[in-house]
Amino acid sequence: MIQLGDILEIPLSDGRKAFGQYVAEIPTLGPLLQVFDLIAEGTIAVDRLAEARPLFPPVLAAFPAAVDRGQWKVIGNLPADGAARPKFISARYNEKTGRPTMWYRWVGEDGVPLGEVLPEQDRGLEYRVVWSPADIVERIETGQVPFPYGDLIRANAFAPRREGKPARKGWFTWWKKDS
């Protein structure tokens, strides 16, 4: 069973390992994961994370499923730093045009409407979505935020996908991988 403060070893496609920590549980949204900038060839001593910095801000993530399936491994536990009320952004958008109709800034459960254009000072916030383990690995390896969220944040729009083509692979592809 996953415990607050657990340190997770996250295997990357090239065989190296990334590391994250379960830092908080947000009611109604789920677990919050902090990924560190430490990438190693193998398992590390957990105390090495004291020197590591965040690779990106904490994200909502479906990592307990990856641990339960044996894809990610708990390698230790350290006190969580209390990142329980991070800020997020989200947008209501038109799938056909790729344009947002309203942006929101969230602190916990409280959302504040921001308008049709994301303010510059909010562009560094994480998108309020639960990331799949596959999306976490892709973000670690490429630095890219999955479609369409990265495009929305950068350009206040995204190029809509053709009808019948999935917008992103993410959770479903990851979940079916070992089934």
Residue boundaries of the structural domains of the chain: 6-176
As to burial, measured by CB atoms within 10 angstroms (0-12 exposed, 13-18 middle, 19+ buried), residue 117 is exposed
Confidence class for position 171, pLDDT limits 50, 70, 90: very low
Q: How does pLDDT run across 19-75, given as a tens digit for each residue? A: 999 998 888 788 999 999 999 998 899 999 888 999 998 999 999 999 999 999 999
DSSP 47: G
CA atoms of 152 and 157, how far apart (whole Å): 5
